C-alpha cells in the first residue's frame, strides 16, 4: 500500500502527526486500564514510531505490518522490539501481550466487517489474561469531503517530498489518491498510490467486537478526532 512512499513516510507524517502526544495518551490509557501493563503488540505498526516512543516510556513493544519495507524501518528504529511481517487479519505469533494496538485508522484497510472480525479475533488470541485491545477507526460513511485537496511537504537531508491527497468514495469504500513529487540526489520524479479503506459506523464496529466475544467502549474523540475503541474479552467484563 505504501510501496511508492515507504522510505519517505516519516518525512511526510512528521510534518503534521503528533506521535509523541499520541504515544503519551496511549501510555496513560493502558496504565489506566491495567497498571501492570508492560508488553504491547502494535499491529499495522508502520515505521514503528509509536512503538519507539512507547518503548521509551517503559513498555516492551513488538510490531507487525504487512509491508516489508516498514518492518525493516521499524526494526532499525527500535532494535529492542521484535517486528514481524504479516496480515493483521490472519497472523499467529508465539507471544502474548498485555495490550494489542491498531492505530492510525489502519483497521480501515481491511475494507469489510468480516475481515475486521477476523482481525480483532487475532488480536484477542494474542492477549495475556486480562489484556486490552485498542483500535483507532477510520471514518464512518458520510464524513469524508471528496472536494478537499491536501498538500503536505517534508524536507530533510537533501530530500524533499510533496504529497497531494484527494479522496473518492464509492459505496462503503473510500479511495485515498496520493500523488508524490520527490526531489533528491537522483533528481526529480513522481509517484502515485491508491489506498482503499472501508467505511464503518461506530455501531457496526461495536457489534463486530461483541460478535467475536469482546466488550468495547468507544471514545468519540480518541487521539486525533477519529475516535478510539478499547475492548476486552466479554468473559472478563462479566466476571
Tell me the pairing of strands 187-198 and 173-184: antiparallel
What is the structure's pLDDT at 237? 57
Task: Report how far apart the first and last C-alpha atoms of the chain are (Å, whole number).
Answer: 41
Low-confidence ranges of the chain (pLDDT < 70): 236-239
Output the pLDDT for position 1.
74
Gap between the Cα atoms of 80 and 111, Å rounded:
32
**DSSP state for residue 23 in the 8-state scheme:** H
- Cell for 189? 520524479
The DSSP-derived string for 77-133 is: H-TTS-EEE-BTTB---S--EEEEEE-TTGGGGG-SHHHHHHHHHHHHHTEEEEEEE
Match 466488550 to its residue by C-alpha cell.
Answer: 215
pLDDT at 235: 75
19-140+200-237 and 150-198: identical CATH topology: no
pLDDT at 234: 87
Task: Give the H or E element holding residue 4.
Answer: none
User: So where are the chain's domains?
Assistant: 19-140+200-237, 150-198
Distance CA 67, CA 204 (A): 27
Strands 97-102 and 83-85: unpaired
Rounded Cα distance between 42 and 134, Å, is 10
Topology (CATH level 3) of domain 150-198: 2.20.130
Cell readout for 142 is: 458520510
- Residue 28 is predicted with a pLDDT of 98
- What DSSP state is assigned to residue 10? H
pLDDT at 208: 98
Long-range contacts of 50-56 (CB under 8 A, 24+ apart): 50/19, 50/22, 50/23, 50/26, 50/101, 50/103, 51/77, 51/78, 51/81, 52/77, 52/78, 53/19, 53/20, 53/23, 54/23, 54/26, 54/27, 55/80, 55/81
Domain 19-140+200-237: which CATH number of 3.40.50.1360, 3.40.50.1220, 3.40.50.150, 3.40.190.10: 3.40.50.150
pLDDT digits (tens, 9 = 90+) for 204-232: 999 999 999 999 999 999 999 999 999 99
Burial of 52 (0-12, 13-18, 19+ CB in 10 A): buried
Amino acid at each position: 500500500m505504501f510501496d511508492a512512499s515507504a522510505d519517505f513516510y516519516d518525512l511526510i507524517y512528521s510534518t503534521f502527526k503528533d506521535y509523541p502526544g499520541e504515544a503519551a495518551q496511549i501510555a496513560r490509557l493502558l496504565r489506566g486500564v491495567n497498571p501492570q501493563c508492560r508488553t504491547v503488540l502494535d499491529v499495522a505498526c508502520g515505521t514503528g514510531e509509536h512503538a519507539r516512543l512507547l518503548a521509551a516510556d517503559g513498555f516492551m513493544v513488538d510490531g507487525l505490518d504487512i509491508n516489508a519495507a516498514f518492518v525493516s524501518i521499524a526494526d532499525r528504529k527500535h532494535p529492542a522490539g521484535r517486528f514481524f511481517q504479516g496480515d493483521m487479519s490472519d497472523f499467529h505469533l508465539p507471544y502474548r501481550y498485555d495490550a494489542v494496538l491498531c492505530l492510525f485508522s489502519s483497521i480501515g484497510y481491511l475494507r469489510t466487517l468480516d475481515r475486521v472480525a477476523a482481525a480483532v479475533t487475532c488480536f484477542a488470541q494474542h492477549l495475556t489474561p486480562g489484556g486490552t485491545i485498542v483500535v483507532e477507526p477510520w471514518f464512518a460513511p458520510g464524513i469524508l469531503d471528496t472536494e478537499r485537496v491536501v498538500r503536505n511537504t517534508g524536507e530533510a537531508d537533501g530530500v524533499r517530498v510533496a504529497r497531494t491527497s484527494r479522496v473518492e468514495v464509492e459505496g462503503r469504500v473510500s479511495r485515498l489518491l496520493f500523488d508524490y513529487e520527490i526531489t533528491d540526489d537522483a533528481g526529480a520524479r513522481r509517484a502515485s498510490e491508491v489506498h482503499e479503506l472501508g467505511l464503518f459506523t461506530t455501531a457496526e464496529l461495536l457489534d463486530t467486537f461483541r460478535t467475536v466475544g469482546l466488550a468495547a467502549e468507544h471514545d468519540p474523540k480518541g487521539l486525533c478526532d477519529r475516535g478510539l475503541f478499547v475492548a476486552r474479552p466479554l468473559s472478563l467484563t462479566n466476571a
